A = this chain, B = another copy of it.
Amino acid sequence: MKIITISREFGSGGRELGKRLSDILGFDYYDREIIAAIAEAKGLDESYVEKALESGVSQRVPLTFHNSFSTIGMMQSAHISLLQEQTRVIEGIAKRGKDCVIVGRNADILLAEQKPFTIFVCASMEAKIKRCQERAREGEQLTEKEIEQNIKRINKNRAQNYEMIAGRKWGQAASYNITVNTSEWDIKELTPAVAAFARRWFEHNAL
């Protein structure tokens, strides 16, 4: 079984890269499906699950005097329960034994034993802002500064969640097989190069 995991900075085009990779390689693709499965198992709303999992530790537990320690404890245990369900869902995907691409969700850590080909996708802040502007829905009128703040906030949360699970810093090149900077690429043009790299990896590391 061949697994590719994609960790990515918000705005880097990592999700598009993952989707296109799965198309080129004929692999299954998992992204929002994981959120949907967690939501179903927990009887929760998908968008709630997504927000809860993406939000970082500090923002989830604002330490004002309105929060008693028991409230904090309840919030933390709810989050841990979501993380546990996420682990179950991702392990379930691996158990199916089918080649797949998994975007986000720290799947690189959760499935380390399956020896996935691990990709980190990054870009310059300028490129990330541009990408966010291009994919903004009509009517979404954020300023460049607001977009940059969003990008920083979401990536900070992703870093915190990763560090909590992996015990090391997010996005360090030595933690992934390859780190791709999408700043000067059209994702469609980049994907075949990444696919060739992944194929080579599996030739030499297939389980």
Asked if residues B196 and A197 are in contact (CB atoms below 8 Å), the reply is yes
Asked if residues B185 and A204 are in contact (CB atoms below 8 Å), the reply is yes
Q: Count of chain A residues with Cβ under 8 Å from any Cβ of B?
A: 30
Asked if residues B120 and A174 are in contact (CB atoms below 8 Å), the reply is no
Chain B: which residue is nearest A171 at the CB level?
Answer: B173
Asked if residues B184 and A181 are in contact (CB atoms below 8 Å), the reply is no
Q: Which of A148-207 contact B (CB under 8 A)?
A: 171, 173-181, 183-186, 189-190, 192-194, 196-197, 200-201, 203-205
Distance in Å: Cβ of A164 to nearest Cβ of chain B: 21
A187 to B160, CA, bound (A): 33
Asked if residues A174 and B205 are in contact (CB atoms below 8 Å), the reply is no
Asked if residues A178 and B177 are in contact (CB atoms below 8 Å), the reply is no
Chain B: which residue is nearest A186 at the CB level?
Answer: B204
Q: Does A123 contact B (CB under 8 A)?
A: yes
Q: Does A34 contact B (CB under 8 A)?
A: no
Q: Within 8 Å CB of A203, what residues of B?
A: 189
Chain B: which residue is nearest A115 at the CB level?
Answer: B184
**Known: A122-B174, A174-B124, A184-B205. Contact between A190 and B179, CB under 8 A?**
no
A171 to B192, CA, bound (A): 25
A174 to B181, CA, bound (A): 6
Asked if residues A174 and B123 are in contact (CB atoms below 8 Å), the reply is yes
Q: Within 8 Å CB of A174, what residues of B?
A: 122-124, 181, 183
Q: Which residues of A contact B (CB under 8 A)?
A: 120, 122-124, 171, 173-181, 183-186, 189-190, 192-194, 196-197, 200-201, 203-205
